[in-house]
Structure 1
Amino acid sequence: MKKRIDENEIHTKHYEEILNRVKNDPFAQSLGIELTRFEAGFAEAVLEVQSHMVNAYGTVHGAVMYTLADHAFSVACNAYGRTSFGLSTNIQFIESAKPGDKLTARATEVKRNFRIGFYRVEIFHGETLLATMEATSYRKDHYFIPLDENL
């Protein structure tokens, strides 16, 4: 019988290796998104809204907020070194932001099983909730880090 893998142990043991992989997202970096917290099933990322990130009304473009939320989600669902990708997302925009605002996205794992992970992402400017996103990830059989044989 195959031993069940303890993914929290993988996260702890391979933390630096996983962190280096998930934080080096070229698209997120091109927008100035910075990963500020990374834990098993949790990620926090920040972005300062630049003048070129607004829509015709002078408020932050929804695609920018979505990208920030999606990046935090991606980091959180890959926190165990297991290749995971977005299967479904649903975002609700509650408030707007403007250039100069510092946005913070926090992705929290709600539940995960062998194949699927469920996440809630919230975007804030200070204490003001700007958007929420519900996200589902698909978890492949593949780990993107080398695992020890005894795990």
Structure 2
Amino acid sequence: MDPFTITDSNPFAQLLGIELIEAEEGYAEARLPFRDELSSNPHTEIAHGGVTYALADHVGGMAIVSAAEEICPTVDMRIDYLAPARSDLQAIATVVRNGGQVATVDIDVHDGDDTHVATARGVYKVGRSSTDSTDESPWSKGHDERE
């Protein structure tokens, strides 16, 4: 599984404008250029919290995909918003633990002024094999597992 191929073919990531910068060995980095449509306030540039959350979730998922080499759906995500995001967003994710059934990933999100705007911890489902019956899950459809 190639995290770059997944990102490039993910309709929601493309809608938001998420750009995967790096993804290897349980680490991923992505950016999201800010634009007016992502604002939560019509009078000032502040990214909607859902945009920050979506970026954190996506980059966390790509970090674990880079380690597990399989689609890993989100089980749970906890996010703390630390400051308003007023410009382009950048997120860094690191796999903390890759267990037999779930993986834990820590994510930090900064804006273009290097303001730490959010910190998150995601839990992702891992451990499905290509012979497992869950291979027909909606998350694996359309992704060639031999990439």
With normalisation by structure 2, the TM-score equals 0.79
Match of 1:138 in 2: 125
Shift of 1:20: 4.3
Q: Contact 1:83/1:140 (CA < 8 Å) preserved in 2?
A: no
The number of residues matched between the two structures is: 129
Q: 1:20 to 1:49 in 2, by over 3 A?
A: closer
Among 5, 12, 16, the residue aligned to 1:31: 16
Determine which structure has more spread, i.e. the larger CA radius of gyration.
1
RMSD, aligned CA = 1.9
Match of 1:78 in 2: 65
Structure with bigger strand share is: 1
Q: Which one-letter code corresponds to 2:90 in the other structure?
A: T
Match of 2:5 in 1: 21
Stretches of structure 1 lacking an aligned partner (at least 5 in a row): 1-16
Moved more, 135-144 or 48-57: 135-144
Where 1:38 maps in the other structure, the secondary structure is strand
Match of 1:95 in 2: 83
Q: Which one-letter code corresponds to 1:93 in the other structure?
A: Y
Looking at structure 2, the residues matched to 121 and 19 of structure 1 have their Cα atoms a distance apart, in angstroms, of: 16
Q: Contact 2:4/2:20 (CA < 8 Å) preserved in 1?
A: no
Looking at structure 1, the residues matched to 55 and 97 of structure 2 have their Cα atoms a distance apart, in angstroms, of: 21
State the Cα deviation string for residues 12-64 of structure 1 (Å, max 9, x = none): xxxxx523432222211111110011111111110111111111363110001
With normalisation by structure 1, the TM-score equals 0.77
